[in-house]
Structure 1
Amino acid sequence: MYLLCSVQQILVANISASDSCDVAYEKFVSFYQKQPSASSQSIFCSQLQYIAINGGKLFKNSDINIAPSFRRLPKRKFSSSTPNCSEELCFSFDPVKPLKRTYKSISLYEAGLSTVPKQQGDCGSCWAFGTMAVFENSVLRQKPANTFWSQKTDLSEQYLMSNSFDYFTSYCEGGDFVFAANYFNEQFQTIESETNVKYDYAALEPMWNQKQKIQTVVQPENYLKPYQLFNIEGSSNMKTPVVGIHTDTRKTFSKITIWQIKSYLSRGVAVSAAMYTETDYPKFKAYSGTKSLDVKCPGDESDHQVTFVGYGYKNGEEVWIIKNSWGQDWGANGYLYVPIGKDSYCTERYAFAILPIGFQFNEELYSNIGSHERGGIFDLDSDNGETVKRPLQQWIVWVSVLGGVLAVGIIVIISICISKKIKNKKEYKPMIIDTAFEVMR
């Protein structure tokens, strides 16, 4: 049972606001059956102090500093028709048509198209969890569904981590969805089930250090790569599963990008995202999940891989739903809300996706996933499946602006011409008079 913390009461593990740090920590380790240590107590006490002053929430890993490690993306190179996808950003142009109408509110986890948030621990493996979150959504969403995988949608992050050996897919030292998906496509034959290869990064790290791969348990007849392939941007002979929706992290999402991400989600397709938790780490770590987090982004920064799994309204404010990898007792049952259009925690600078098998570029709304009654403290506001019309296209706005500029320019030019004619007439008449005067003389 995970309850909210406040200045008045901190009830997780029966901890109260009046408990000293030592007493609270003793209750905490007993409740979660943890091994106590001086370092974990120091982290716990620091978090407890923050919650007592600012409000927030304790959760299972309040005694560790989770390692959100995310590799900064290099700039895409266009110098070669055969790009090296282990060193440069490889993706396809976005082939998906934006919808004319999207759902007003959509939650992929409520729709059964997103698995339960898992726990990465103090390993910088957010990239693996973010990648598998997108792959799991693709397995749940694909048409026709593979009968074997329809019962095994919880995929193994450990299998991806242990069999990836690349700078941008580097075990507990960080990685990135774009590189992980491309590496998977080149080096792997199949996804693997969490049942077959469980997450145990500490025990399996020595094998990875020695470059010893984990054997595949899934039988060849059930091998699956849950995505479509497309030509890499700038190359006519290389394929990628990655679709670029927003690829320039120096810029925030435009209204067109926001609508396109909503179009993906309204079709039941998750979108890979990134954020910068160090903007305000204590606040992020103690997030209660009952409202959105609005923390200003300092610039082009990222340190954590997450996933867009929905959007809608929370307490009347339009928000993104973001799937994290810190377990279900963190935030809103493992999810985070941030306001749309504000780039909170730098969440609106990165958006990539894969397209499930059977997905069509011009598909309409995914049926029966937009109506949610809700009502819980961690839920979005209720809706009845309403849809929203696409806002005025940006090119129409630009045409209007350009037309206005041209109209003003024409008016200015006409005004100058008329002014010159009037001036010429005024100057011409005195000249005639002068000439006549000279003749008369």
Structure 2
Amino acid sequence: MMAAGGCWLLVLGAAGLVFGLPPVRWMQAAPGDPGMNTLMGLAEREYNAASGREELYRAMRMRDLRKQLVSGIRYEFTVFLGRTLCRKGDEELLGNCPLHSLSALMEIECKFSMFVLPWVNETKVVEQTCSQEGHIEETSEPSSSKQEEPSMKAEAEMLETLSLFKDFVTTYNKKYKDTEEALMRLQIFAQNLKKAKEIQEKDQGTAEYGVTKFSDLTEEEFRTLYLNPLLSSQPPRPMKMAPTPTDPPPAEWDWRDHGAVTEVKNQGMCGSCWAFSVTGNIEGQWFLKKKSLVSLSEQELVDCDVVDQACGGGLPSNAYQAIEKLGGLESEQDYSYLGHKERCSFSTNKVSAFINSSVEIPKDETEIAAWLAQNGPISIALNAFAMQFYHKGISHPFRILCNPWMIDHAVLLVGYGVRDGKPFWAIKNSWGKDWGEQGYYYLYRGTGACGMNTMCSSAVID
């Protein structure tokens, strides 16, 4: 079997070749590099663990620190250790241990080569060579605690991560500005694989989670670029309550089967989900009243709704009011989506649909189903906790993980039914067809999952 250091050098060094990146370079660390203290602590611990001496040694200073960004960070450095008056068993006191009076003459020089793997919070010592009492002592064999040869399982996981990232970059045509950014995205990707696995293990439904086009984004980046924080931070504009349907809902219903839903759209890197949710609702209402399905303009709302914040988020209740004041919505064809705010260029001569008012829909899910079946698709908002890594199936996160008071994404409720014995809501999203089930999200029905019943509304067309 290949030696531990050789194996990691091969796997990590090959990362650049796998992703078509230029060769990685060694970089000298600047004085005061924040990683120095951590590395000195690691060197101190590793030396004392591997040493056969009873006395403990403390790291005094470092020189020649350089690093190389691979799929982790490889460090090489020299550290000088001084003998203390503490002995094995006193490791917790080492920082305050007095030095031996002749420590300057007993100083030990060690050269280390280490790999730091941030996404697994692990450090692997490849080589440790120390001078001792006038001769060189080779201690390159790992200590029993942290320097053991990587297991076959760890090697397999690393290779699988590299392979998945390569497929991800190819599938979604990802472009990174340089090697450093690409390797940073690889680290985030590896962390997200673990998150997706945790969500999968905790899901109570039939959903499958894994690699999506958002897998190289941190949670904060994802929220900033694609979600809508205003939904939970601002109260919605008061609207009158919609009449409660008197007839019970049918066992299942889907407005896609009845021609009331346009194709899945893509909001891009813009927090304009609120506009897509509202236009989707109005498209359905217009179809039911006028027997004509027209794709309506979200860009008009991004540009012309002066109450909401364009790509910074907005509320459906405000959007309805803005549409009433403007006099209607133009078609997607006449006022195309750009994914960023521009000067308002709305023309009353090009209005393709208008509304008269808007209503709030009750929070009871049976009533929501009945209203939807009778009146058309509904604008809703929910907590998008499980959506970054969603592939398919019926998502059913634990309530504590997907709490209903932290809604951050507006979508369109188009139907409901039962699949594999589990009741679901069919939800049209606005992240394109290359996400979820052809752009759709299926969420467990009956428990108010992820707050989907907390902000339901519709336009009214007389």
Taking a change above 3 Å as real, the CA distance of residues 91 and 317 of structure 1, as seen in their structure-2 partners, is: same
In structure 2, the partner of 1:180 is 319
Of 367, 380, 390, the match for 1:287: 390
- For 1:372-387, list aligned pairs within 5 A: none
Whether 2:195 is the aligned partner of 1:50: answer: yes
- Structure with higher strand content: 2
SS at match of 2:265: coil
- How far did 1:127 drift? 0.8
In structure 1, the partner of 2:361 is 245
Taking a change above 3 Å as real, the CA distance of residues 40 and 190 of structure 1, as seen in their structure-2 partners, is: farther
- How far did 1:170 drift? 0.4
SS at match of 1:130: helix
Taking a change above 3 Å as real, the CA distance of residues 184 and 338 of structure 1, as seen in their structure-2 partners, is: same
TM-score by length of 1: 0.58
Whether 2:310 is the aligned partner of 1:171: answer: yes
Whether 2:228 is the aligned partner of 1:69: answer: yes
Separation of aligned partners in 2, 1:59 and 1:32: 9
The letter of the residue matching 1:328 is K
Q: Render the CA deviation track for 1:128-147: whole Å, top value 9, x for unaligned.
A: 111111112122222x335x
Whether 2:344 is the aligned partner of 1:213: answer: yes
Separation of aligned partners in 1, 2:257 and 2:210: 23
Unmatched 5+ stretches in structure 1: 1-15, 77-87, 230-240, 247-252, 358-441
The letter of the residue matching 1:56 is Y
SS at match of 1:288: strand
Separation of aligned partners in 2, 1:215 and 1:137: 22
SS at match of 1:110: helix
Q: Render the CA deviation track for 1:154-189: whole Å, top value 9, x for unaligned.
A: 2221121012222xx101111010111112211x23
In structure 1, the partner of 2:176 is 36
Preserved CA contact (<8 Å) 1:319 1:339: yes
Give the superposed CA RMSD: 2.9
SS at match of 1:183: helix
Taking a change above 3 Å as real, the CA distance of residues 198 and 289 of structure 1, as seen in their structure-2 partners, is: same
Separation of aligned partners in 2, 1:155 and 1:75: 26
- How far did 1:112 drift? 2.0
Of 349, 354, 359, the match for 2:459: 354
Taking a change above 3 Å as real, the CA distance of residues 267 and 329 of structure 1, as seen in their structure-2 partners, is: same
Of 246, 249, 261, the match for 1:102: 249
Higher relative contact order (CA 8 A, sep 6+): 1
In structure 1, the partner of 2:296 is 155
Preserved CA contact (<8 Å) 2:232 2:407: no
Preserved CA contact (<8 Å) 2:273 2:313: yes
Preserved CA contact (<8 Å) 1:102 1:266: yes
Separation of aligned partners in 2, 1:33 and 1:294: 30
Separation of aligned partners in 2, 1:129 and 1:299: 21
SS at match of 2:230: coil
SS at match of 1:243: strand
Preserved CA contact (<8 Å) 2:245 2:370: yes
- How far did 1:19 drift? 4.6
TM-score by length of 2: 0.56
In structure 2, the partner of 1:113 is 260
Separation of aligned partners in 2, 1:318 and 1:340: 5
In structure 2, the partner of 1:428 is none
Taking a change above 3 Å as real, the CA distance of residues 27 and 339 of structure 1, as seen in their structure-2 partners, is: closer
Separation of aligned partners in 1, 2:444 and 2:263: 22
- How far did 1:275 drift? 1.0
Taking a change above 3 Å as real, the CA distance of residues 161 and 316 of structure 1, as seen in their structure-2 partners, is: same
Separation of aligned partners in 1, 2:233 and 2:311: 20
- How far did 1:332 drift? 2.4
In structure 2, the partner of 1:83 is none
Separation of aligned partners in 1, 2:185 and 2:275: 25
Q: Render the CA deviation track for 1:244-292: whole Å, top value 9, x for unaligned.
A: 223xxxxxx3xxx323222222125111111122xxx3x3211222223
Preserved CA contact (<8 Å) 1:90 1:242: no
SS at match of 1:306: strand
- How far did 1:106 drift? 0.5
SS at match of 2:190: helix
In structure 2, the partner of 1:194 is 332
In structure 2, the partner of 1:27 is 167
Separation of aligned partners in 2, 1:42 and 1:138: 46
Separation of aligned partners in 1, 2:267 and 2:313: 12
Preserved CA contact (<8 Å) 2:275 2:298: yes
Q: Render the CA deviation track for 1:329-354: whole Å, top value 9, x for unaligned.
A: 32222222222221211212221112
- How far did 1:305 drift? 0.9
Separation of aligned partners in 2, 1:74 and 1:40: 30
Whether 2:291 is the aligned partner of 1:145: answer: yes
Preserved CA contact (<8 Å) 1:289 1:333: no
Separation of aligned partners in 2, 1:325 and 1:140: 20
Whether 2:417 is the aligned partner of 1:258: answer: no
Preserved CA contact (<8 Å) 2:189 2:216: yes
The letter of the residue matching 1:348 is N
Taking a change above 3 Å as real, the CA distance of residues 329 and 195 of structure 1, as seen in their structure-2 partners, is: same
- How far did 1:322 drift? 1.9
Whether 2:377 is the aligned partner of 1:270: answer: yes
SS at match of 2:302: helix
Taking a change above 3 Å as real, the CA distance of residues 271 and 34 of structure 1, as seen in their structure-2 partners, is: same
In structure 1, the partner of 2:442 is 337
SS at match of 1:309: strand
- How far did 1:75 drift? 8.8
Separation of aligned partners in 2, 1:17 and 1:307: 38
